Amino acid sequence: MTLDSLEILRSLVAFPTVSRESNLRLIEWVRNYLADHDIESHLVPNAEGTKANLVATIGAARCGGMVFSGHTDVVPVEGQAWTSDPFRLTARGSRLHARGACDMKGFIAAVLSRVPAWKQARLERPVHLMLSYDEEVGCLGVSSMISAARELLPEPSTVLVGEPTGMRVATQHKGICLAQTKVVGIEAHSSLTHQGESAVMLAGELIAYLANAAEKLAAAVPAGGSVVEPPYTTISVNRISGGTTNNILAGLCEFIWDIRPVPGESAESVLTGLAAHAEERLAQLAALGKRCQIETTVLADVPALQAEAGGIAAELVRAAMADREADIAVPFGTEGGYFQRAGWSTVVCGPGSIDVAHRPDEFIEHGQLIECEALLDRLVNRLQPTSKA
């Protein structure tokens, strides 16, 4: 089975791999596609067996190869005003619309389209394909994938994460710390506020504290700032739930929030600051005879991608670019920081624009898929010991 990237993308987006659902049907499709070209793949399942990462090698089993990394999950479509079926690839002119077309099944399709040619070329230095699950909810699958790759693969030298950068070379991005704060209040009739404590209102106080902390971070940017936009660590609260009905003081409230540290900073100071503020507020309530609880749990802590002095991954991709543009930094997180932490030189570069990702009518330009295919071939050629490219 030899398919071009457009045909492969059409198949990939048809699998509704929203993070809350399984990705196994897509993974099996990829595994069968690779098997058709006599390429063995290895699955790294989650604990429940409902999802899996995939690791495969094309070419000689020797050190110094390059990893092409992508995630298989997508964000939900509920509540978005799509003008076409989000899980069916729809072409409008040069734009190919579907959930995940840009973020980031387009890159995966481009990589898979090159597999037959790479297989026939009998690569002396290998290409490794690594597809992960649950990137969109905190890169939950990538750590086990990297651990398995250390056992399964010869040591690679470089990693290309194909997130949408408009085919620009991105050498830095922010980290992501995803946290959940649970507030337990005291239920009472809403007319008797002195007898209870609303968990929703207490959660609101904590959110106000985080908003103030975010303002301080934004105001403390040193001269010259950061290359990442915005040039400071951000805090945002994006989901909240709590309460029973309108005339009962809420006994429980939970909110999920994130910290996005710029490269070189961490989330620790924000977490410890909130913990100290919560402890002080609980002590005040306890003095009034009100025993409440506040607990924050870190759900994911994705490291930032740091600029590498003389990074071989960035140098390799720059050299393979048809049109050389200045390197960029991106505000979104990727699994790149995990690969870098594992000791592998890492860069982010892929087709599509993050500006249209996660939105209704998400799309990728067909021309960027073709451009990505050409870049991948040039990269692989440059990897080979005898290459004159």
Give the pLDDT score at 2.
Answer: 66
Q: Which residue has the tokens 């409902």?
A: 50
**Is the Cβ–Cβ distance between 114 and 27 less than 8 Å?**
no
Give the pLDDT score at 386.
Answer: 65
Q: Which residue has the tokens 């089975």?
A: 1
Over the stretch 314-329, which tens digit does the pLDDT of each residue have?
A: 999 999 987 778 899 9
Return the CATH fold of 5-173+303-383. Aminopeptidase (3.40.630)
Give the pLDDT score at 389.
Answer: 47
**Phi/psi zone of residue 134: left (φ > 0), alpha (ψ -120 to 50 degrees), beta?**
left
Please report which confidence band the pLDDT of residue 300 belongs to, taking 50, 70 and 90 as the band edges: very high
Domain-wise residue ranges, the chain: 5-173+303-383, 176-302
pTM for the full predicted model: 0.91
Partners of 260 in the beta sheet? 234
Over the stretch 18-66, which tens digit does the pLDDT of each residue have?
A: 999 999 999 999 999 999 999 999 999 999 999 999 999 999 999 999 9
Give the pLDDT score at 388.
Answer: 45
> SS3 for 21-41, per residue?
CCCHHHHHHHHHHHHHCCCCE
Residue 284, CA distances (Å) to 128, 300, 310 in order: 56, 31, 53
Q: 176-302 has which CATH code?
A: 3.30.70.360
Q: Is 156 exposed, middle or buried (0-12, 13-18, 19+ CB in 10 A)?
A: buried
Tokens, residue 258: 């994130």
Average pLDDT, the chain: 95
Work out the average pLDDT over 292-317: 95
Residue 66 neighbours by CB under 8 Å, 6+ apart: 125, 126, 127, 128, 156, 157, 158, 159, 160, 313, 316, 379, 380, 383
Residue 230, CA distances (Å) to 76, 221, 280, 332 in order: 25, 10, 31, 11
Over the stretch 163-218, which tens digit does the pLDDT of each residue have?
A: 999 999 999 999 999 999 999 999 999 999 999 999 999 999 999 999 999 999 99
Quick one: which of 104, 111, 25, 41 has its CA closest to 336? 104
Q: Could you give the percent of the chain with pLDDT greater than 70?
A: 98
